[in-house]
Amino acid sequence: MVCCDKIVEYEYHLELGGVMKKRILLGTGIIVGIIIIGMIFAGNYFYNEGIKRGTEVELHRESDTVNVMATTEEQSIINEAIDWYNNQEPEVLEMTSYDQLVLKADYIENEESNGKAVILAHGYRGHRQQMDDLVKFYYDQGFSILMPDARGHGESEGDYIGYGWHDRLDYLDWIDMLVKEYGAKDIMLHGNSMGASLVLMVSGEDLPKEVKGIVADSGYTTVKEELSHQLKHLYNLPPFPLLDITSVITKVRAGYTFGEASAIDQVKKNTLPLYIIHGDADELVPTEMAHRIYEAAGGTKELWIVPDAGHTKAYTVATEEFQDRIRGFIDDIFN
């Protein structure tokens, strides 16, 4: 009888243990499920903030002390250039991308170009007209100017921002158009911020002989590293696992991952003359990225770190020196 009672008691405890184990597993599963759902929700939120077209995002702002003021003479040069640009009537060009997006660009022909052309690449959530301060400078050097709206920006189609990665393939087509339809023989690329990383990404592609040199102002190494930097400064959050989840969502919705969108990997394959510009007070894209891009880059290269300049502010705070340096770069390329 005692033996039977012990067996019953044992079976009771065994059953109770099984019930508790099931409850623990169920509770753990629920918690894990909630975490996964929460991370997916957060990943979609950050996709909408950083990748989806049309969302107004306040990027990490630089402190008011990081930029020296432009001199009156420098500001006068820039104001004159913008006024000159506003009086131009660019031809609006259209192109259909490899994935059937209609992309648009402004084209200003220079009758004295002798086949020289420059493509100006704007920054994140910007548009082609934001490169207006550089147009007159290049026109005065004898260039025709092409100013595309990147996919997902301005008047170009696209529901996501490619951070330069898919855009690099679009630029191959813009280059092809300049060569075949406009007789371009000597082409330069010049980009700011996202546009800088875009032209750096283009540098690793198989480019036609007409492309002669690249200027990259304030570019980032990889999309993953730049977004990690922004995540820390905007939200004080670590990149893992949120950025990895957002990258997977971006792969599904936009067709690329943050890790593969790499300017630093592309410049390793570069063979063209490359001029890298970065402000030493850039808090949006850390200045150390410029040093790493420079070290990784193939081809003839030069690095100019501009004192007291914030993000893409080199032209503002050192206008005349900027122009002198780029003139020298152009002379080296074409002479």
181 is a domain residue = yes
Look up the CATH number of the domain holding residue 119: 3.40.50.1820
pLDDT at 250 over 60: yes
Tell me the per-residue pLDDT of 147-201, one tens digit each, with 9 for 90 and over: 999 999 999 999 999 999 999 999 999 999 999 999 999 999 999 999 999 999 9
Domain range for 283 is 69-222+261-334
Contact residues for 270 (Cβ-Cβ < 8 A; gap 6+)? 200, 203, 204, 214, 297, 298, 299
Cα–Cα dist 184/66, whole Å: 40
Contact residues for 108 (Cβ-Cβ < 8 A; gap 6+)? 88, 90, 91, 135, 139, 144, 145, 147
Is residue 195 a contact partner of residue 150, using CB atoms and an 8 Å limit?
yes
Cα–Cα dist 276/65, whole Å: 24
Cα–Cα dist 42/62, whole Å: 26
285 is a domain residue = yes
Q: What pLDDT is attached to residue 133?
A: 95
Q: How confident is the model at residue 3 (pLDDT cuts 50, 70, 90)?
A: low
Domain count across the chain = 1
Pairing of strands 186-192, 274-279: unpaired
Tell me the per-residue pLDDT of 194-204, one tens digit each, with 9 for 90 and over: 999 999 999 99
Q: How confident is the model at residue 68 (pLDDT cuts 50, 70, 90)?
A: low
Average pLDDT, the chain: 88
Q: Which two tokens stand for residue 230?
A: 């922004």
Q: How confident is the model at residue 9 (pLDDT cuts 50, 70, 90)?
A: low
pLDDT at 306 over 90: yes
Spell out where the chain has E strands. Answer: 91-96, 102-108, 116-121, 144-148, 186-192, 211-217, 274-279, 301-306
291 is a domain residue = yes
Q: Is 287 left (phi over 0), alpha (psi -120 to 50) or beta?
A: alpha
Q: What pLDDT is attached to residue 38?
A: 55
Handedness of CA 73, 75, 76, 81 (dihedral sign): positive
**Edge-to-edge, what's the strand order for the sheet holding 144-148?**
91-96, 102-108, 144-148, 116-121, 186-192, 211-217, 274-279, 301-306
Higher pLDDT, 294 or 36: 294
Q: What percent of the chain has pLDDT over 70?
A: 82
Other Cβ atoms less than 10 A from the Cβ of 304: the count is 20
Q: What pLDDT is attached to residue 235?
A: 79
25 is a domain residue = no
Tell me the per-residue pLDDT of 75-112, one tens digit each, with 9 for 90 and over: 899 999 999 999 999 999 999 999 999 999 999 999 98
182 is a domain residue = yes
The label of the residue with tokens 């509770």 reads: 27
Q: What pLDDT is attached to residue 179?
A: 98
Cα–Cα dist 218/196, whole Å: 6
Pairing of strands 102-108, 91-96: antiparallel
Pairing of strands 211-217, 274-279: parallel
Q: What pLDDT is attached to residue 63?
A: 46
Cα–Cα dist 203/196, whole Å: 11
Is residue 69 a contact partner of residue 314, using CB atoms and an 8 Å limit?
no
Cα–Cα dist 313/69, whole Å: 10
Cα–Cα dist 151/199, whole Å: 14
Mean pLDDT confidence for 292-307: 98
Cα–Cα dist 85/106, whole Å: 12
Tell me the per-residue pLDDT of 191-241, one tens digit each, with 9 for 90 and over: 999 999 999 999 999 999 999 999 999 999 999 999 999 988 877 888 888
pLDDT at 18 over 90: no
Q: Which two tokens stand for residue 288?
A: 């150390």
250 is a domain residue = no
162 is a domain residue = yes
173 is a domain residue = yes
Strand partners, 107: 91, 146
